Amino acid sequence: MKQIEFASKAVKILADDQFVIGLAAGGSLLSGELDDYSDIDLVLVTKEKISDKKDRMLEYANKLGNVLTAFTGEHVAESRLLICLYDNPLLHVDIKFVTLDEFKNRVEDPYILLDNDGQLKDIIESTASAWPHPDYQWIEDRFWTFIHYGLLKIGRGEYFEALDFLSFLRFIVLGPLLHIKHGNLPRGVRKVETQLSKK
């Protein structure tokens, strides 16, 4: 698959880079859910922090292939993330740039693609990953006010705002809680169509 080929090529390109400690992959490549529509989630671990230098992040992204466009992930509260669209092949690649110390705080234990000195393996074995769970009290304190707000929008005939609000409610509250109920990670509404219907 093109995602595997891209990851393999990235390893070869970065293997001799003295500034790189390692490269790991998460997401669907890690979970075994990779398909033709999947992006690829990479974690690039460097000796010094470069996530505050977009030009350096872009420099590494361009080493890995033909970047059509790239931007940082502030809209998902992750400025260390560079979201890239590559050509030949056309592929969405997320690259998170972290230091070795930052690698300790992770939501999953990624698949190690490159680990020059075994440091990534050591961290995974000595620390625990943790997917963030919703704060139930936060939800309880707000839920009925949220519902009232949405009903006011409908009552006023502001249907597009009401639709936006329902999307927010699904992503922040309903999706995560349904995932938890069914023993899944609370990943918003990610794959609820398939993961919940099987339960």
The confidence score (pLDDT) of residue 22 equals 97
> What are the pLDDT digits (tens) for 102-136?
999 999 999 999 998 999 999 999 999 999 999 99
Name, in order, each residue with C-beta under 8 angstroms of 34's C-beta and a sequence gap of 6 or more: 1, 3, 4, 28
- The pLDDT assigned to 29 comes to 83
| 22, burial (CB in 10 Å: exposed 0-12, middle 13-18, buried 19+) | buried
Query: The tokens of 89 are what?
Result: 């092949």
Confidence category of residue 197, pLDDT binned at 50, 70, 90: low
Q: Using alpha carbons only, give the angle 33, 61, 120 rounded to the nearest 5 degrees.
A: 60
Residue with tokens 């169509």: 193
pLDDT, average across residues 26-34: 84
Query: How high is the pLDDT of residue 187?
Result: 87
Write down the mean pLDDT value for the chain.
94
Nearest to 114 by CA among 17, 2, 192, 5: 17
pTM score of the predicted model: 0.86
Per-domain boundaries in the chain: 2-126, 136-192
To the nearest whole percent, how much of the chain has pLDDT over 70? Answer: 98
Stated length of the chain: 199
Topology (CATH) of 2-126: Beta Polymerase; domain 2 (3.30.460)
d(CA 197, CA 191): 10
Selected residue with higher pLDDT from 18 and 197: 18
| Tens of pLDDT, residues 60-88 | 999 999 999 999 999 988 999 999 999 99
Contact indicator for 54, 71 with CB cutoff of 8 Å: no
Q: Is 1 helix (H, G, I), strand (E, B) or coil?
A: coil
User: What average pLDDT score do residues 148-172 get?
Assistant: 96
Dihedral angle at the C-alpha atoms of 81, 5, 117, 108, nearest 10 degrees? 50
